[in-house]
Each structure stands twice: as C-alpha cells, then as structure tokens.
Structure 1
Amino acid sequence: MADNRKGVSMWFLIKGSFWFSLVLIALPFLDSSSDKELEAAPPLEVGHSMAAAMEAFEDIKQICVRKPDICETGSETFAALGSRAKQGARIAYEFLDAKFADGEPDLTTASLPPEATEAETASN
C-alpha cells in the first residue's frame, strides 16, 4: 500500500510539472511585448518536439520501477511541502480574516495554532 502511494505521489509530481510547463510556455502568447525576445529564440519544430516529449514521458513513467528510491524521496518531499503549504495557507487565511473581518480582529490568537486557540477558549 505504501509503495502505491509513493508511485501516486511521483505520478502527481510528473503530471503537475508537465501542466505547469505548458502554462509557462503558453504565457508568452498572451504578452505582445515578448515577441521581440522570442524572435531570437531557436526555432520550435513541433513534430520533433512532440516525439521527444512522448519518449521522455514513457521513460519517466518507468522511473519508479527502475529506481524506487527516487519515488520514495519524491513522496517524502511532497509530504513535507504539503505540510508547509497547509500551514502557509492557514497563516494567510488568518491574516486575511483578521484584516478584513467585520469588527475588531482578535490579533492575540491569529498567530497561534488552532489547538492552542481552542485550549485558550475552553479555559475562559
């Protein structure tokens, strides 16, 4: 079961990287000021690029079979990053809630973890 989760996490990394790359590639099409800089860029041959991308994609799909330690490390990394992102989102939410809430914000508990806030409320 743990091996399956590692493979899923690595697969999520691969898919996420792919879609993020596509977004970065598409952004210059939306900005007309980047045309001059792109004129000096090497030409893009779509057919050759797609063939190379498909071969790379097939190779990447097999990485967890060939090197399971890479998938394990990737899974651990994403678990740590997920925890940090969760805490960052909580801090941002509390900051925005305190900033835009109706009435006076309670800034004394905004920086405390939820468990500490609940314990403080229960003791009062």
Structure 2
Amino acid sequence: MFCGVVAGGVPAFRVADTPDGVAFLDIRPVFKGHVLVVPRPHVDDLPGLPGELLPGFFALVRRLAAAVPDALGAQGTFVAMNNVVSQSVPHLHAHVVPRTKGDGLRGFFWPRTRYADDAEATGYAERIAAVLAGG
C-alpha cells in the first residue's frame, strides 16, 4: 500500500515528496495533522533500513517534527515507529503526531479520528507542506 503511495498510484494527502522519502496524512489520525513518513524504497522495518538511507530519512522525519507544530498551532509532536508488532502496514513508517498539553493522549493508547472530508484533509496537508517549503 505505501509503495503505491510512493509511486503515485494510491491517492494520499501528500505533505512532502523528496528523494529521501514521502510524507502524507494518516487516513485514521490520532489527531488531525498526523503524518506518516516512509522511505522511498520498500523497507519492511527499521532494522531493514540500509545505513546509507538513515540520515536522509531521519532528516525528513525531523523536518516534519518541526513543521507540524508551526503549521497547526500545536505545542509539539509525538514521533513513533512500530517494528513488526503493531505495524499495520509492513513498510517502515514514522508517525509524526501533533500534540498539545492536555490533548488526552496517554501512553500508547492511540484513539483514532477521521477527517470530515477530503477538503479538510487537503487543508491540513497544505498547511504542513507550506511550512516545510518555508512559507
């Protein structure tokens, strides 16, 4: 599924598309603006990520961790990655979740929500992409 997003055959609300990876909105976000970051080549999990791809991939994750609060007025982010257990899609992906003090997220219980429609999701994706682009 994520390989299809990277290739462009599976629709997604893209936030970033770089040589190091692709970032797009999670369709079942913990909080609206929850972004998934995947490496461009298919890699099952973090232990399988070739060392030469590590710097670029994590630089993209770091950029998203900075952009999401600026774009959405959040106070910070929660950045997480599952490897095999609880990994619903067998393609390495980092979660970048907007956080605000008192938002109700506790531990590793991740309640999920949905966007009202594609227009709302597009708006979130565009706001994050604009901050990434420096605007």
Identify the TM-score tier after normalising by the shorter chain. under 0.3
Q: TM-score, normalised by structure 2?
A: 0.23
The structure where strand makes up a greater share of residues is 2
* Higher Rg: 1
Q: TM-score, normalised by structure 1?
A: 0.25
